[in-house]
Chain A
Amino acid sequence: MATRFDPDKDSAPRLQSYDIPFPDESMVVLDGLNYIKAHVDGTLSYRWSCRMGICGSCGMMVNGTPKLTCNAFLRDYWPKPVIVEPLNNFPIIRDLVIDMEDFMHKLKSIKPWIIRKQEIPLGAGEHRQTTSQIDDFRQFSQCINCMLCYAACPVYGLNDEFLGPAAIALARRYNLDSRDQGLKERLPVIADSEGIWECSFVGECSVVCPKGVDPAKAIQQTKLDTTMRFLLPYGNREP
């Protein structure tokens, strides 16, 4: 079953049943949607691109759990019906397509790029990092912005002003990068009441992440670091 919703015709989303063949065990939910689109109903709308868990486009609710549909095997659900719905906690544009504008604004607000007070000239060579320095932020750099964590987060569901798991994890990724000097520019956003302090550590964001990023860890560690900066002498010194 898949959610159908046409904002010009429907007052609310509804579920529609489809029967699809299940010829081999490697078939994923996205293959099922593609079959429906190609052979049953060409009007079904959904996002997808790479089919290999990299682009983060095909995130949907599969039987109530946020999943990348390219990574959700039908064999894990068969013979029960598979219910595919748009990601929770986001407005629906059409069928299985959600509106990501809110996330895009939040992503931009944490300035997810390397910030330097003074750029190092290209002629100075590479800005080298040790493996230990890379290990500090590597995990958080694996985020593919699929927004499964936002769909799993009840805090975001209850308060969409919350900055949210992926944005905070990405802010931490840059704050931990030895090349970055933008912590003070990001702090007003991430340490705001709608930032890290809104999170009550449900932890489901980390459970559903398809790339093994641990946003709950990023948020709690940022809470600790921010508190230590406030409490310790010279805590606000320049990094």
Chain B
Amino acid sequence: MPAAWWTRKRHYLLYFVREFTALPMALWLLWFLVEIKRAGAGSAGYVPHSSTAFVIFSVICLLFALYHSVTFLSLAGVILHPKVMGRPVPPRLVVLAMFGQWAVASIVIGAVLIGFAR
């Protein structure tokens, strides 16, 4: 297999992008751990990182995270095969349920974080 096999087809490229999006997410989470460690020393000396470069990096990571989440949840219809009353649930409904849970979880986590911030 040539090293550039993933450029041969659009499907391969999209797969590669999907897998690659995990890398910036991992980098951002590492950064987040560093920030938690800094904040652990106490709020007095802690100044949140707010440089333009960091904001741009975070926005890019957010876009990658959204792409990764959308592709991951869309594939749930392929993987999960629940049955209700002995009949298989249509994959589209499974995907809708996953996106619904994602939206609810995001709202709840967002509300909790905003509540703590206040």
Residues in chain A near residue B67, CB distance under 8 A: none
A94 an interface residue at 8 Å Cβ cutoff?
Answer: no
Q: Which of B8, B79, B86 is A64 in contact with, Cβ under 8 Å?
A: B8
Which one of B1, B86, B88 contacts A157 once the chains associate, using CB atoms below 8 Å?
A: B1
Residues of B within 8 A of A89 (CB): 1
- 24 CB < 8 A contacts A-B: A64-B8, A64-B9, A132-B86, A132-B87, A135-B88, A154-B5, A154-B6, A154-B12, A200-B15, A200-B19, A201-B15, A201-B75, A202-B12, A202-B15, A203-B15, A204-B9, A204-B12, A216-B78, A217-B78, A220-B79, A221-B79, A221-B81, A223-B79, A224-B80
> Size band of the B side of the interface?
10 to 19
Residue of A nearest to B8 (CB): A64
User: When A and B form their complex, what is the total count of cross-chain residue pairs whose Cβ atoms lie within 8 Å?
Assistant: 40
* B residues 31-78 touching A (CB-CB < 8 Å): 75, 78
- Are A158 and B1 CB-contacts (below 8 A) given A64-B8, A200-B19, A203-B11? yes
Contact A224 B5 (CB under 8 A): no
Q: Name the B residues within 8 Å of A157 (CB-CB).
A: 1, 5
Identity of the chain A residue whose Cβ is nearest the Cβ of B87 in the assembled complex: A132
- B1-35: which have CB < 8 Å to A? 1, 5-6, 8-9, 11-12, 15, 19
Q: What DSSP secondary structure best describes chain A's contact surface?
A: helix
Which residues of A are interface residues toward B (Cβ below 8 A)? 64-65, 89, 132, 135, 154, 157-158, 200-204, 207, 214, 216-217, 220-221, 223-224
Chain B residue contacts of A200, Cβ below 8 A: 15, 19
